Amino acid sequence: MSTTEPVAPFDAWRRFLWFAWAAFWLLMLMVSVQDNYVNGDEPLWRPLLWEGSSLLVATVLIAIQFHWLPTLRPLLQQPRRWFGVQLVWLPVVVVGFVITAYGIRHGVYALLGDTYQHEPWLQVLLYEATKLTIFFGLWTAAQFGIESFIALWQEQQKNFAIQQALAEARRALLQTKIQPHFLFNALNTISAVMHEDVEKAEQLISELSMLLREGLNLDKKSLVPLHQEWQFLQAYSHLMLARFAPRVTMQWQLSDEVREVAVPPLCLQPLLENMFQHGAEKIPGPFHIELFAKADGKDLLMGLTGSKGQITEPVIEREGMAQVRGRLQLCFDDSASLIMRNRQQGGVEVLLRIRDALER
């Protein structure tokens, strides 16, 4: 299981904000130049200097705020405190802006042998404070919305990763519970045949080796095509039939339309194993097993029947049904169902349904 560290869309949002910031100030510069061209007679460099100095200082202040904002994320759940902290810095922003921007303008004017004329300092401070308060309020409100979205997105990604990790851990745990049962019974089958037919035992060992190899590959996948699961079941049944033949017979029906439907690996093997272990092995006389998989509307319906025997409810949950049901739940949530019941004509049947499986 590999977990992916949540990655917030900081870069995309920051690129968007900086683009909006650049577009806003480009518009301000164009309006200032146009206004001077229509209504004023100042040299072009003066309106460019006025807006350019505001652009430079405001950009530095915004960059500092960007760097500082992540430290306020713990306060996003308390908007009043979040905005309160921002409000505390507003006087610093206003005074810093006035001193720096107007200092630049005075400096440039002095370098060019001119004098920068403006309103008295108190009037300038009030004018800039009003303008910056409006601007700062709108900008901060937008940032609060963006920061809240990013925090929510991070929390969702974190929860999703946790759910994935839990699901994968549970799936792996369930598979480790299933595989030892299969290996134990297969070795018992080979052991039973070995003393009667060595050549047949060698063949069964070869088939067991193939099954284990395929089992290891299946372990790496959450879902496999049904025909692959079907091949695995048939190989497993060869091992079991070698032990019970000719008393036990089997019949297989796999519809072509469901061959490629994705199912959890080893989802039927524990059920077939139970059929051999608690049906064929314990009930004397001929025993017939049928497996089928077909489409039922948009659903995949798989069935496993045994010609004899009877089940009780406690046995259902004790014999691997819970493990299979758990894996179906992890893969399909509530879209899959698994039931075992007695048949009216005798024997038992297991029905596994995956809703809308043919449309997945």
CA-nearest of 264, 211, 206, 262 to 233 is 211
Residues 74 and 207 in one domain: no
Residues 233 and 299 in one domain: yes
The answer to whether 253 and 190 are in contact (CB under 8 A) is no
Please give the Cα distance from 116 to 77 (Å, whole number). Answer: 46
pLDDT winner (highest mean) among 67-76, 99-108, 222-231, 306-315: 99-108
Counted residue by residue, the chain has a size of 360
Q: Are strands 287-296 and 248-254 parallel, antiparallel or unpaired?
A: parallel
Q: How confident is the model at residue 249 (pLDDT cuts 50, 70, 90)?
A: very high
The pLDDT value recorded for residue 313 is: 60
Please give the Cα distance from 281 to 309 (Å, whole number). Answer: 11
CA-nearest of 317, 311, 315, 313 to 349 is 311
pLDDT at 46 over 80: yes
Please give the Cα distance from 251 to 288 (Å, whole number). Answer: 8
Share of the chain above pLDDT 70, in %: 85
Other C-beta atoms lying within 10 Å of the C-beta of residue 338: 21
Please give the Cα distance from 338 to 303 (Å, whole number). Answer: 10
What's the mean pLDDT when you consider all of the chain? 81
pLDDT at 243 over 70: yes
Residues 15 and 133 in one domain: yes
Domain-located, residue 230: yes
The amino acid at residue 288 is H
* Of the listed ranges 57-61, 161-165, 306-310, 316-320, the one predicted with least confidence: 316-320
Residues 169 and 186 in one domain: no
The pLDDT value recorded for residue 255 is: 94
pLDDT at 5 over 50: no
The pLDDT value recorded for residue 1 is: 40
Residues 191 and 293 in one domain: yes
The amino acid at residue 95 is V
Residues 171 and 189 in one domain: no
Residue with the bigger pLDDT between 6 and 307: it is 307
Share of the chain above pLDDT 90, in %: 19
The pLDDT value recorded for residue 6 is: 44
Residues 160 and 206 in one domain: no
Residues 187 and 167 in one domain: no
Is this model's pTM higher than 0.75 or not?
no
pLDDT at 105 over 90: yes
**Helices within the chain (DSSP H only):** 10-39, 45-68, 79-111, 121-194, 198-219, 226-244, 269-274, 313-316, 322-332
Domain of residue 281 covers 180-354
- The number of distinct structural domains making up the chain is 2
The pLDDT value recorded for residue 136 is: 81
Any idea what the CATH number is for the domain that residue 199 is in? Answer: 3.30.565.10
Lookup result for tokens 């949950």: 317
The pLDDT value recorded for residue 250 is: 93
Q: How confident is the model at residue 2 (pLDDT cuts 50, 70, 90)?
A: very low
pLDDT at 47 over 70: yes
Residues 60 and 189 in one domain: no
The pLDDT value recorded for residue 126 is: 92
The pLDDT value recorded for residue 233 is: 86
Token pair, residue 276, equals: 């051999």
Residue-wise pLDDT tens digits, 282-296: 888 899 999 999 999
Token pair, residue 136, equals: 């700062």
What DSSP line would sit under 168-184, residue for residue? HHHHHHHHHHHHHHHHH
* Of the listed ranges 78-82, 217-221, 276-280, the one predicted with least confidence: 217-221
- What's the whole-number mean pLDDT along residues 2-10? 48
Domain-located, residue 107: yes
The pLDDT value recorded for residue 9 is: 58
Domain-located, residue 55: yes
Please give the Cα distance from 322 to 324 (Å, whole number). Answer: 6
Residue with the bigger pLDDT between 179 and 266: it is 266
Residues 193 and 327 in one domain: yes
pLDDT at 165 over 80: no
- What's the whole-number mean pLDDT along residues 311-337? 73
Which of these three, 153, 175, 197, is where a domain ends? 175
